[in-house]
Structure 1
Amino acid sequence: MTSVTLLGVKGGPAIRPGAPMPTAHLLQMGGQNVVVDCGLGVSRGLIDQGVGVHQVDLILITHLHSDHYLELGPLLHTAWTAGRRDPVTVIGPSGLRAYVDGFFAAMAEDIDLRIADEGRPDLRDLVHLQLLEPGDVPNPAGLRITAMLNDHPPIAESFALRFDGDHSVVFSGDTATFPAMVDFAKDADLLVHEAMLTAGIDALCARVGNGDDRLKTHLLRSHTPAAEAARIATRAGAKQLALNHLVPSDDPDFTENDWRAEAAPHFAGPLHIGRDGLRIPL
């Protein structure tokens, strides 16, 4: 059975009491466990779904904002300490190499000690990095994956992903309203689309406290209002829509009802408002 679990649905890297965790997804398709993005909390999220961190078959990173790859290194290391001996492929933008190399350098003392003291294989040999580029995405899991550049300024290498097998699942990635998403998500069984509640942006920026007006500018030019995400899903003919990477996601003045009020008038199918641990079977 194909399913998508939203492991973390928060837009942005900050976590506060009562807040959801940053972005991460588990796609289970064709007998494979695929992780899409590795925000803080991804390892705990997998365990909570009954999936061992060493059981991940493939990891994809959509872009290099910290709420999408901060826990990639710890996930890989924890899988290794949990008994992983076979290679794992990580597919992501070109800058991901510097992160992985830096993580291995920072953890070299621990890695080398565990190799010598515990007889483990070298973690650095188990991680196979592959560049994510537009078009068909070759992968050892044998899945049909397609990538498309989206619109997430100022980042140039930011991708939407489509998985086609017994079902079709599309992840928008972080993006402004992007008309090409309609064709990319055509007839998808599930579109997982980022979403912003425009009415909550001023309160969010005030709460962050250590930025200036550039934060609001970034949010408004780089993300998709929930109503627009719903319109895209409708035009694409998507069967279900899940809103994730919610901005804001931890403001008590805005509830699921506010998200539904903005999106539901524009999409007639099943509408899922993201929450950590939400599993959507297909």
Structure 2
Amino acid sequence: MSKDFVALLGTKGGPAIRPGSSMPTSNLFCLNGQQIVVDCGLGVTRGLVDQGMQLKDLSLIFISHLHSDHYLELGPLLHTAWTAGLQSRVDIYGPAGIDVCWEGFLASMKADIDLRIEDEGRPDLRDLVAIHVIDSGKVMERGGVTVTAIRNEHPPLIDTFALSFRTDSTHVVFSGDTAPIEALEDFAKGADLLIHEAMLESALPGLMERVGNGSDKLMAHWLRSHTFAHDAARTATRAGVGRLALSHLIPSDDPAYGAQDWQDAVAGHWDGPLFVGHDGIRIEL
């Protein structure tokens, strides 16, 4: 693997997948020789393997918040890594409640885990995972990578975070899911890369029709809890970041819209290098 890069493994906003759609949110940050998984939406395991990662080397995971499109595959990723040879500790950093998710997964898979320990001689998966509940401020420092967090604005959730990853030579900021907030401009100030969620305003009514089982509450959630592409562009400009990547795209699976529509949405608000996220895109740092 290249020494320093970010791979956007899943770039779709929301948990549903349909024919032709991309996968929900997951990312691989390779910084200072460390492989860091950021969010574990559906498809993360396949996405990591497609980037050339050996699952047995899994050691560090961050979960930004407890919406299913960001942590649905956390348990299956860890279990699959275990069956692929994992035998060292994995640290998981996430909001309050992530421990309940993990314990629930272990309970659901107890029979299989116990069987594989007895029948195949594997180490106990339950002993390999350490959960760390995060808050705003410094979260972790390890191997030359410092991670800090701020609460973003993604109601009705409160424990939902943007994350900053710094090394001596690189600064990457992941917005998480958020409405536009000034705090993120300061948090991302001068970053080499800002990965920011984005919506296309004109495409939301059509998306509502395709969802089919949501009320006007769904539209209200999008509008109060997420960021239009043009506002993500303004945040990037005000923060003075080097490059902007749009991800968690809402929508990402409407054939009426493509990369040019996202580029048009940020035009006039951002004039730096732009990456319109698609599953598997690798951004070298």
Q: TM-score, normalised by structure 2?
A: 0.97
**C-alpha RMSD of the superposition:** 0.9
Aligned partners of 1:36 and 1:60 also within 8 Å = yes
Measured against aligned partners, the alpha-carbon deviations of 1:63-104 in whole angstroms (never above 9, x if no partner) come to 000000000000000010000100100000111111100000
Q: In the alignment, does 2:149 pair up with 1:147?
A: yes
Measured against aligned partners, the alpha-carbon deviations of 1:14-58 in whole angstroms (never above 9, x if no partner) come to 001110000001000010000000000000000111012222221
Greater mean deviation of Cα atoms: 130-139 or 245-254: 130-139
Counterpart-to-counterpart distance in 2, 1:271 and 1:56: 30
Paired amino acid for 2:247: N
Q: Secondary structure at the match of 1:235?
A: helix
Q: Secondary structure at the match of 2:268?
A: helix
Q: Secondary structure at the match of 1:90?
A: strand
Q: What's 2:110 paired with? A: 108
* Alignment length (residue pairs): 282
Counterpart-to-counterpart distance in 2, 1:141 and 1:60: 16
Q: What's 1:80 paired with? A: 82
Q: What's 1:237 paired with? A: 240
Q: 2:58 aligns with which of 41, 56, 59?
A: 56
Q: What's 2:179 paired with? A: 176
Aligned partners of 1:89 and 1:140 also within 8 Å = no
Aligned partners of 1:187 and 1:239 also within 8 Å = yes
Where in structure 2 are the equivalents of 1:1-282 lying within 5 Å? 1-141=3-143, 143-165=145-167, 166-282=169-285
Aligned partners of 1:37 and 1:60 also within 8 Å = yes
Q: Secondary structure at the match of 1:215?
A: helix
Identity over the aligned pairs, expressed in percent?
58
Q: Point out 4+ residue stretches in structure 1 off by more than 3 angstroms.
A: 139-142
The structural deviation recorded for 1:133 is: 0.9
The structural deviation recorded for 1:140 is: 4.9
Measured against aligned partners, the alpha-carbon deviations of 1:182-209 in whole angstroms (never above 9, x if no partner) come to 1000000000000011111111111101
Counterpart-to-counterpart distance in 2, 1:217 and 1:141: 42
Counterpart-to-counterpart distance in 2, 1:270 and 1:98: 40
Counterpart-to-counterpart distance in 2, 1:139 and 1:98: 25
The structural deviation recorded for 1:2 is: 1.6
Counterpart-to-counterpart distance in 1, 2:68 and 2:11: 14
Aligned partners of 2:58 and 2:86 also within 8 Å = no
Q: Secondary structure at the match of 1:94?
A: coil
Counterpart-to-counterpart distance in 2, 1:185 and 1:98: 31
- Structure 1 stretches lacking a partner, 5+ long: none
Counterpart-to-counterpart distance in 2, 1:83 and 1:140: 23
Q: Secondary structure at the match of 1:275?
A: coil
Q: Secondary structure at the match of 1:245?
A: strand
Paired amino acid for 2:71: Y
